[in-house]
Amino acid sequence: MLLAMDIGNTNVKIGVFDGDNIVASWRMSTKAKRTADEYGMVLYDLLKQQGVSFKDIKHAVMSSVAPALNYTLEHMCGYYIGIKPLCISHTLDTGISIDYDHPSELGADRIVGAAAAYHFYGGPVIEVDFGSATTFNLVAADGRFMGGAIAPGIMTATESLAAATAKLPRIELSAPENVVGRNTRACMQSGIIFGYTGLVKYMLEKYRALPEMRCAKVVATGGLSEIVANTEPNLFDVVDRAIALKGLKYIYDRNR
């Protein structure tokens, strides 16, 4: 079995593969102060619920945008499972070529998302990942990663708005009934949900005007992707929230 770990700024996504099938997947909060033992015990309990033990795990792969956790989770894998995970970077064979000014600066999450979107859905493709940041990743038909854009994530912007103002509350992330809010919460929901949907729609229009991106598929992923998809149903061709884990498995297989 293969253990796949996607370490984000907000959550650590974990999946276990038996061959090409995902046996189970989980999310746990990203906490830099957690020790390798704490992550190991949580993982032990999660695996046990699915009838899987550490000895069943023979391989591991991880991508990370939280450097403070890299050693912790690598040490967990070594101590509890007895294996060293393959860590995603621009130097691996990902199935795409990276046409980026400084490839070493490209986040592992963007590499995995772009490679997975191209492999599973073909190119040209635009992958939009709704996480702590909202990222746009473009891959041309020939498998060339062209770059994209990074914007604050929906939740990040919402939390920042509440934290930076004295009277604005934290709100539920759901679309209001009307774009014109009649109370503070509805106004905030309108600005965040409809505003971010407009941001995504505008960016996609600009990208699809590029010669390399004509007829590009748009693949959305991330925990908040469905909010935007429900607000603007025809914006995405595919919503695939498991693309990160599937991408880790795909890249691992190419580099095994």
Q: What are phi and psi of 144, to 5 degrees?
A: -95, 120
Task: Determine contact, residues 92/255, Cβ cutoff 8 Å.
Answer: yes
Task: List helix spans (H) across the chain.
Answer: 36-49, 67-76, 108-121, 154-164, 184-189, 195-208, 225-231, 243-255
DSSP 200: H
Active-site position among 109, 142, 237, 240: 109
How far, in Å, CA of 51 to CA of 3, rounded? Answer: 14
Q: Which letter, b or e, does each residue of 44-59 get, where b requires 16 or more Cβ atoms within 10 Å of its Cβ?
A: eebbeeeebebeebeb
Residue 85: Cβ-neighbour burial (10 angstroms; 0-12, 13-18, 19+): buried
Q: Which residue has the tokens 């967990």?
A: 76
Q: What amino acid is encoded at 52 in this protein? A: V
Task: Determine contact, residues 148/203, Cβ cutoff 8 Å.
Answer: no
Residue 129 bears catalytic tag: no
How far, in Å, CA of 92 to CA of 72, rounded? Answer: 22
Give the CA angle between residues 195, 197, 201 to the nearest 5°: 120
Give the catalytic positions in this structure: 109
